[in-house]
């Protein structure tokens, strides 16, 4: 494990050990579970989401508290600058996505954003490349919701073509409003040979996909 002074500043807290840290020039790429991140770092990430998703023309698209809850409890990938400030972030949490009747252990990506002032440096791509490695190592399938398909396509993600559903107890509910928003990472193509079959997610507060 490589721990830089930037990460030492950000991680000097009660939360537990850093799982991974790698210095790359003047930034550091860090992978850590939620409980290994200090409250200060988590506040930075939460503030980043507000900045990244703040659009006065589309207030319904703002990043809310339930969105933040969805981003916690899994593994975070962060890029820090030399002072320990969070420049880019994404997390991956465990979900069960049912693909044509087959439940798959899925790494679901949440809270992916880069500081506007740091965009154009490839930081988001670094974060998502590492997220992909986490998913491949631990899950059968990867999924996320986005309106920015080309960014993820260049990293190997594919658009889901089939209908989407929500599992609510024994009830299966169609969610057409999320069609065209879901992208997937096929860890094992033999498990998911067809992108046009129905898939369903478990229910949760807020945005289900």
Burial class (CB in 10 A: 0-12, 13-18, 19+), 71: buried
pLDDT of residue 57: 65
pLDDT of residue 62: 85
Q: Cα(81)–Cα(89) distance, rounded to whole angstroms?
A: 12
Q: Cα(43)–Cα(186) distance, rounded to whole angstroms?
A: 32
> Residue 25 — very low, low, confident or very high, per pLDDT cuts 50/70/90?
low
The tens digit of pLDDT for each residue in 26-79 reads: 899 999 999 999 999 999 999 999 999 987 666 667 899 999 999 999 999 999
- Ranges of H-type helices in 23-74: 39-52, 65-71
* 54 vs 190, residue with greater confidence: 190
The tens digit of pLDDT for each residue in 114-160 reads: 999 999 999 999 999 999 999 999 999 999 999 999 999 999 999 99
pLDDT at 4 over 50: no
pLDDT of residue 5: 42
Kindly report the length of the chain: 209
Q: Cα(42)–Cα(22) distance, rounded to whole angstroms?
A: 19
Query: Residue 98 in contact with residue 199, Cβ under 8 Å?
Result: yes
| Of 202, 106, 195, 185, nearest in space to 146 by CA | 185
Q: Over range 96-100, report the average pLDDT.
A: 98
| Of 16, 24, 70, 82, nearest in space to 45 by CA | 70
Q: Which residues contact 68 (CB under 8 A, 6 or more apart)?
A: 46, 49, 111
pLDDT of residue 9: 42
* 60 vs 106, residue with greater confidence: 106
Residue 153, φ and ψ in degrees, nearest 5: -60, -35
Q: On the CB side of 166, how many CA atoms lie within 13 Å of its CA?
A: 15
Q: Over range 19-28, report the average pLDDT.
A: 65
Q: Name the pTM for this structure.
A: 0.88
pLDDT of residue 24: 56
pLDDT of residue 193: 97
The tens digit of pLDDT for each residue in 173-185 reads: 999 999 999 999 9
Q: Over range 14-33, report the average pLDDT.
A: 66
pLDDT at 202 over 50: yes
pLDDT of residue 8: 40
Superfamily of the domain at 5-202: Gcn5-related N-acetyltransferase (GNAT) (3.40.630.30)
């Amino acid at each position: 494990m490589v721990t830089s002074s930037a990460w030492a500043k950000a991680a000097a807290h009660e939360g537990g050990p850093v799982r991974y840290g790698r210095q790359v020039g003047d930034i550091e790429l860090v992978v850590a579970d939620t409980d290994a991140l200090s409250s200060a770092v988590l506040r930075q990430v939460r503030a980043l989401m507000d900045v990244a998703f703040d659009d006065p023309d589309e207030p319904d698209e703002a990043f809310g508290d339930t969105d933040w809850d969805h981003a916690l409890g899994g593994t975070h990938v962060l890029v820090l600058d030399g002072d320990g400030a969070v420049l880019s972030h994404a997390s991956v949490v465990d979900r069960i996505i049912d693909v044509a009747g087959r439940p798959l252990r899925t790494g679901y990506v949440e809270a992916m954003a880069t500081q506007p002032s740091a965009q154009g440096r490839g930081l988001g791509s670094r974060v998502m490349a590492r997220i992909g490695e986490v998913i491949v190592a631990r899950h059968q399938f990867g999924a996320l919701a986005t309106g920015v398909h080309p960014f993820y396509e260049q990293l190997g993600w594919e658009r889901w073509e089939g209908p989407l559903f929500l599992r609510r107890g024994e009830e299966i509910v169609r969610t057409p409003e999320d069609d065209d928003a879901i992208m997937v990472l096929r860890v094992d193509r033999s498990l998911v040979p067809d992108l046009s079959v129905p898939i369903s997610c478990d229910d949760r507060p807020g945005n289900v996909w």
